A and B are shown apart, each in its own frame.
Chain A
Amino acid sequence: MTFIVVSLIKIAIVMAFFMTVLAYLQWIERKVLSHIQLRVGPRRVGPHGLLQPLADTLKLFLKEDLMPAHVNRFLYRLAPAVAVFLCLLSVAVFPFGPEIEIFGVRTQMQITDLNIGILFVLAVTSVGVYGIAIGGWASNNKYSLMGGLRSAAQMISYELPMGLAIIAPLLMLNSLSFREMVNNQAGYSLGFIPRWTVFQYPFPQVFGFIIYLIAAFAETNRIPFDLPEAENELVAGYHTEYSSMKFAGYFMAEYANMTTVCCIAALLFLGGWHPLFPAPYSNLVPVVVFVVVAALAFFHGLQPARKWDNITFPIVGVIALILAGLFFVPVLNTILIPIFWFLSKVGLLLFVFIWVRGTLPRFRYDQLMRFAWTFLFPVALINLLVTGLLVAVTTGH
């Protein structure tokens, strides 16, 4: 009984947090992109445009749900539902922190720990292509169909290097469960180098990490691999015919997939919730970060560049100080410190995704395929072979 109640509470917390992150990820992306392109971005709805995601969601809710003529009605409705369902599924197996005890109940900071966690995520992502492919086909539109086809071909091609890049750290971590994998990355070699797989003996997975990231860009249909929705060739690609909440479903799926691949990268390569520095120093890092944020906010509040800056920036500063203070509360800090490290890794990777979108142009379709099969795939294979050889030699069996 306690198990069911605890699980329901955990699911509610994770889903509420995940949904908020998805909504605000879009705001962050628009802000970062606009600053890269020397614009200001959304700032009309709420202070600094902070209520923009809410307004966008409301708009999509209230829009008319068009059903184009000549579509396959059943599949046209089914496809966005499949996309949303599958992109929210994999978050169930991600661990956010170690085992904790609250009010006498011991529980893991994770919805469920599967023995085959990584295989579960691979299965979910490999089926995820149907949402896009079927949507493109059912729309009965040449641009949608091209988008769906491109997406299917691209995801099959990039799943191979992605899978091979994932297997290499699995060889070193010797498990398929996310929790065990992260636990095997605990500790420091030479007292200061964290034993994350990107730094771990015998073969640091730097190449594996880069291959994984490149393949992840293609898997999530992001620039520079966003051929399925290339707007100057295909209008909007596979979701050209979709409007209202069905379009919102695809939109959410893209951001959810982005978050998922970043979580996998953080768990497999960057040591999950294990901090960059040994314990006594690493516990101070979140406090220092939030105090610095607060100081910057107060500094800018004192020298307002825009109309409301002398009010909004001090509020941000106070919030940052409260967050810094939370890390001194005895029970809370055992929960917050791992979450801080995990989220900062995921956040950094998400920032890289947005950064790349603001920096790189789109590939041509033949370049995309040639890159996957003649460069990324062989390199991933060599990385796997070298890792396997070194692991076999050093462990001796």
Chain B
Amino acid sequence: MDTILFFIFAIIAVVCGLNLVLQKHPISSALSLIGVMGSLAVLYLMLGAEFLAAAQVIVYAGAIMVLFVFVIMLLNAGSEKPGGKSWFAQIAGIPLLLAFIAVMGFVIETFLPALRSVRFGSFAGGTAREIGRVLFTEYLLPFEVTSVLILIAILGAVVLARKEID
């Protein structure tokens, strides 16, 4: 049952990911991205990370992507026009992609520790209680620093927007 569900949602995620790149219209791409995020949330849920799954949907699919879609709708962005093909991409594209895959495979094989096989739902630290405890004890400093970083980004955006109006 878990394996079947895993394959269904993994395939949905990959298909939506490909669709995101291949679609010409920005709003179709944005909706594909929502599909990717939704199926990733289901995969998290199957692994036992229930809080992360909910946060993924609430924050990414529900808040950030709504803003993306909002901006696309507001600007009424049309379809992309295919640009002129660069000679560099035509010659070096496929070799570079193969080289990248090879390097990634090598890094994963040699540097990462041997991984145990994953069991669905075996992870116990994914409840809201556990995540809250870890965030406010072990990872308190990174957590607070991240929030300050986001605040700085918001202030920066406000300053830039104000300059435009004056």
A interface, CB within 8 angstroms of B? 75, 114-116, 119-120, 122-123, 126-127, 129-130, 133-134, 136-137, 145, 148-149, 152-153, 155-156, 159, 176
Contact = CB atoms under 8 A, between A and B. Distances in A.
Interface residues of B, number: 22
Given A133-B73, A149-B74, 7 more contacts: A75-B27, A116-B54, A130-B34, A130-B69, A137-B27, A149-B70, A156-B63
Contact of A153 (B51, B55, B70, B127): B70
Contacts of B57: 123, 126-127
A230 B31 CA distance: 27
B73 A116 contact: no
Contacts of A153: 70
8 contacts: A116-B51, A119-B54, A123-B54, A130-B66, A133-B69, A136-B73, A148-B73, A156-B63
Interface of B: 27, 31, 34, 38, 50-51, 54-55, 57-58, 61-63, 66-67, 69-70, 73-74, 76, 127-128
B62 A127 contact: yes
B66 A156 contact: yes
Contact of B66 (A116, A145, A152, A176): A152
A155 B128 CA distance: 25
A155 B73 CA distance: 15
Nearest to B127: A115
Dominant secondary structure at the B interface: helix
Contacts of B128: 115-116, 119, 176
B34 A126 contact: no
A126 B38 CA distance: 13
A362 B67 CA distance: 25
Contacts of A129: 62, 66
Contact of A137 (B51, B66, B73): B73
Given A120-B54, A152-B70, A127 B61 contact: yes
B69 A152 contact: yes
A124 to B, nearest CB: 8
Given A119-B128, A133-B73, A126 B54 contact: no
